[in-house]
């Protein structure tokens, strides 16, 4: 495999063989190690010493279902620590098939100069991007696909990344209707903007495949893995995830009182029925949109949708739970159409819907508009794309918005907005938010649905549950697998070992895999320690420890001693 | 619905024609519950299919 270094200061690209240090790493694991080895941990996140890394997971390119996610990493503008955000689309598989371990973007272009990186199998070049400036991610990818082919993959930033907003995401194109997938969290779009890189175009890897060390072992394990996903009651063709998408959980999260409502002031939203996955499915089918679509070719879960308006015109290439929570209930909006339109705007500007939904919630609490006032909320979000002062405040995320507007109730941990589970009613997620080196990020260890293990409202057992989930999440993110692929690999880790050995022939055991997963977290924690992040930076905000959350009047009362000892047994 | 005798969650599920093995999450008055929990009078009992957060 090879590593492509892109020096934006010198406008040079160079190929390197993969160093032995990085050889057995991919995705989140590679990002953590590369950041620790190569960047000063205290560097300016938007300066020349930060690096932006694009890397497929270890299982990418071989046709393993759900394993084609692209990991993007760097030092996070929001958390000031290590960040890995991943997204679907065709980039992960494409890079793996072309033999890439990673693309590492270094240095930065002269201020005001912007470039597109065009990558083929054996060449790469930086080209001026002047004509793309000011365009959103949809228009950018359309224009580049017209130029380089409809089957090429485009990774791009929108206006938010150009403005170096800390809430900026990175968009990745996918097959056909799935035009917009986002590596959304942590503000990595701003890092891409700081480099002067508007987009990356990767040619389709025609006739390419990854070499297999043991094809029989690999094929047997990957087929079994796919079949187990299909047979899973959550994920198969009759499972809620497939039928209703990630929005399938709206009703349940609302019922247990953990649905962020009106800037995390309540845990349930009376009109939540209008936001449920069941309603979404009815609407989409009635309007001749699509359900059960995929963000990655070959995914057997197929949890996405093509959300369309009354006239059957596509609004957004999937409407997901987190967006519905943060831009629906959290803003007092009960219309999926409104949430879908806000989602489209975020996708186009290149914004994380979680960070932006939380920032808007704080802005509404500050009185910039009323909760549920659709038109005013649209007007606020529009300003992000226009780059007005208020737009720049919102686009820089929930902490900046709270500080500027004098709001103390800021739902964030380690500088990053909380996703769609209030930690007071789902304390396992609170422990993850308050300890993960990734900051408040549900994909780092989501305790929702952990039935028969731990009472979500209780304190007992949350520490152990979160650690277990964080170790599994590290594995998924390092291999390119979707979060939803958890059940078969938890039940049978040997499957994962066989797939890895089938590709690389490393002779790993289950114990090796476990060590690998834990090492990802250790490396990330070490980076954050060197970056100057302390236990106090990770904490859940004080108001969530004191302000009871209706309907259960729950507070986040997991003691600091539990939080501080989560990784004792790592 | 009215129950003729005190029941636990599993008994109510069967009474409603639900297969307990196909139930994912259960809540009683918004509190996550289990099949062997008793169903108190006047409560709101919810059954959800197997699901995971995302």
User: What CA–CA distance (Å, rounded) separates A166 from A79?
Assistant: 10
Cβ-defined contact of B51 to A241 (cutoff 8 Å): yes
The DSSP secondary structure of A476-509, one letter per residue, reads HHHHT--GGGHHHHHH-HHHHHHHHHHHH-----
Which residue from B34, B48, B54 is facing A252, i.e. has the nearest CB? Answer: B48
Among A13, A11, A12, residue whose Cα is nearest residue A3: A13
Average pLDDT of every residue of chain A: 96
Cα radius of gyration (chain A): 22
Mean pLDDT over A68-80 rounds to 98
Chain B contact set for A248 (CB, 8 A): 49, 51
Say yes or no for a CB contact (<8 Å) between A457 and B52: no
Q: What is the DSSP letter of A366?
A: T
Nearest CA in chain A to B23: A233
Q: Is the pLDDT of residue B53 over 80?
A: no
A467 touches A566 (CB < 8 A): yes
Please check whether residue A487 is in contact with residue A235, taking contact to mean a CB–CB distance below 8 angstroms.
yes
Q: Look up tokens 């650690």; give the residue.
A: A467
Structure tokens at A198: 């508007």
What is the spatial distance between Cα A28 and Cα A68, in angstroms, rounded to a whole number? 13
The pLDDT of B31-41, averaged and rounded, is 94
pLDDT of amino acid B54: 62
The model's pLDDT over A404-418, given as tens digits with 9 standing for 90+, comes to 999 999 999 999 999
Whether the CB-CB separation of B26 and B35 falls below 8 Å is answered with yes
- Cross-chain Cβ contact B46/A257 below 8 Å: no
* Residue A564 C-alpha, separation from nearest chain B C-alpha, in angstroms: 25
Q: Is the interface score ipTM higher than 0.90?
A: yes
Please name the member of B25, B26, B54 whose beta carbon is closest to the beta carbon of A483.
B54
Residue numbers in B near A421 (CB within 8 A): 53
Q: Which residues of A touch B34 (CB under 8 A)?
A: 451-452
- The 3-state DSSP class for residue A181 equals strand
- How far apart CA A68 and CA A214 sit, in angstroms, is 20
Q: What is the per-residue pLDDT for A176? A: 79
Mean pLDDT of A83-87: 98
- 3-class secondary-structure state, position A345: helix
Edge-to-edge order in the sheet of strand A100-106: A12-17, A2-7, A100-106, A52-56, A70-75, A82-87
Structure tokens given for A344: 């489209």
CB contact under 8 A, B52 and A446: yes
Which residues in chain A have Cβ-Cβ distances shorter than 8 Å to B22?
233
| Helix spans in A39-163 (H) | 91-97, 137-148, 159-162
A215 backbone dihedrals φ, ψ, rounded to 5°: -60, -40
**Best residue in B24, B34, B51 for a mutation probing chain A (most A CBs within 10 Å):** B51
- CA distances to A23, A223, A553 from A71, rounded to whole Å, are 16, 24, 38
Query: Looking at the predicted structure, is the pLDDT value of residue B13 above 80?
Result: yes
The structure tokens listed for A353 are: 């819907």
Asked if B51 lies within 8 A of A252 by C-beta distance, the reply is yes
Pick the CATH number of A2-202 from 3.60.9.10, 2.40.110.10, 3.10.129.10, 2.60.120.10: 3.60.9.10
d(CA A533, CA A191): 19
Helix A353-365 and helix A336-349: axis angle, to 10°? 110
Residue A552 has phi, psi (to 5 degrees) of -95, 0
Nearest-CA distance from B46 to chain A in Å? 8
Positive or negative torsion for Cα A431, A437, A442, A444: negative
Which regions of A41-97 does DSSP assign to beta strands (E)? 52-56, 70-75, 82-87
Q: Which pLDDT tens digit goes with each residue over A238-275?
A: 899 999 999 999 999 999 999 999 999 999 999 999 99
Asked whether the beta carbons of residue A255 and residue B30 sit closer than 8 angstroms, the reply is yes
Name residue, tokens 């990630």.
Answer: A246
Q: Count, in order, helices (H) and strands (E) of chain A.
A: 23, 17
pLDDT at A451 over 70: no
Let me know: does A166 contact A397? Beta carbons within 8 Å. Answer: yes
Backbone φ and ψ of A116, nearest 5°:
-115, 135
């Amino acid at each position: 495999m090879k590593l492509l270094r892109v020096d934006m200061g010198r406008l040079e690209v160079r190929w390197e063989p993969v160093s032995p240090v990085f050889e057995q790493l991919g995705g989140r694991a590679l990002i953590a190690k590369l950041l620790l080895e190569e960047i000063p941990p205290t560097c300016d996140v938007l300066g020349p010493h930060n690096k932006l890394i694009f890397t497929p997971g270890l299982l990418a390119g071989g046709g393993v279902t759900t394993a084609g996610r692209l990991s993007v990493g760097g030092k996070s503008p929001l958390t000031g620590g290590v960040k890995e955000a991943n997204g679907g689309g065709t980039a992960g598989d494409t890079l793996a098939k072309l033999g890439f371990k990673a693309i590492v973007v270094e240095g930065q272009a002269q201020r005001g100069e912007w470039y597109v990186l065009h990558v083929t199998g054996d060449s790469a070049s930086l080209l001026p991007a002047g004509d793309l400036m000011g365009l959103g991610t949809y228009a950018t990818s359309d224009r580049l696909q017209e130029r380089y082919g409809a089957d090429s993959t485009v990774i791009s930033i929108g206006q938010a990344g150009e403005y170096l907003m800390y809430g900026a995401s990175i968009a990745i194109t996918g097959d056909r209707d799935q035009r917009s997938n986002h590596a959304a969290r942590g503000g990595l779009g701003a890092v891409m903007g700081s480099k002067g890189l508007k987009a990356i175009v990767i040619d389709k890897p025609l006739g390419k495949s990854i070499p297999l060390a043991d094809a029989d072992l690999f094929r047997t394990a990957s087929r079994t893995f796919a079949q187990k996903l299909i047979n899973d009651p959550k994920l198969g063709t009759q499972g809620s995830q497939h039928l209703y998408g990630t929005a399938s959980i709206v009703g349940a999260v609302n019922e247990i009182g953990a649905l962020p409502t009106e800037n995390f002031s309540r845990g349930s939203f009376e009109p939540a029925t209008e936001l449920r996955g069941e309603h979404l499915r009815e609407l989409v089918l009635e309007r001749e949109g699509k359900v059960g679509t995929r963000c990655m070719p070959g995914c057997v879960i197929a949890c996405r949708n093509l959300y369309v308006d009354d006239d059957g015109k596509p609004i957004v290439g999937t409407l997901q739970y987190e967006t519905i929570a943060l831009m629906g209930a959290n803003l007092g909006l009960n219309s999926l159409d409104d949430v879908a339109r806000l989602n489209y705007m975020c996708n186009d500007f290149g914004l994380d819907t979680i960070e932006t939904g939380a920032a808007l919630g704080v802005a509404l609490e500050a009185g910039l508009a009323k909760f549920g006032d659709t038109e005013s909320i649209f007007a606020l979000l529009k300003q992000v794309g226009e780059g007005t002062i208020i737009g720049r405040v919102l686009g820089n995320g929930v902490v900046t918005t709270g500080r500027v507007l004098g709001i103390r109730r800021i739902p964030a941990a380690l500088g990053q907005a909380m996703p769609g589970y209030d930690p007071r009613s789902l304390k396992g997620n609170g422990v993850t938010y308050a300890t993960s080196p990734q900051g408040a990020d549900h994909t780092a260890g989501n305790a929702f649905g952990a039935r028969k293990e731990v009472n979500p409202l209780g304190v007992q057992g949350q520490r152990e549950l979160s650690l277990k989930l964080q170790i599994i999440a590290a594995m998924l993110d390092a291999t390119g697998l979707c979060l939803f692929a958890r059940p078969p690999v938890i039940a049978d880790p040997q499957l994962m070992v066989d797939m890895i050995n089938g590709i690389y022939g490393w002779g790993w055991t289950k114990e090796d895999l476990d060590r690998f997963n834990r090492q990802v977290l250790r490396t990330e924690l070490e980076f954050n320690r060197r970056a100057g992040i302390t236990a106090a930076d990770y904490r859940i905000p004080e108001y969530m420890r004191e302000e009871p959350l209706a309907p259960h009047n729950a507070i986040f009362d997991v003691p600091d001693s539990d939080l501080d000892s989560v990784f004792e047994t790592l | 619905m009215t129950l003729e005798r005190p029941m636990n969650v599993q008994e109510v599920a069967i009474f409603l024609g639900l297969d307990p093995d196909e139930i994912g999450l259960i809540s009683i008055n918004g509190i996550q519950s289990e099949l062997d929990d008793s169903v108190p009078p006047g409560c709101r009992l919810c059954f959800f299919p197997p699901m995971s957060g995302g």
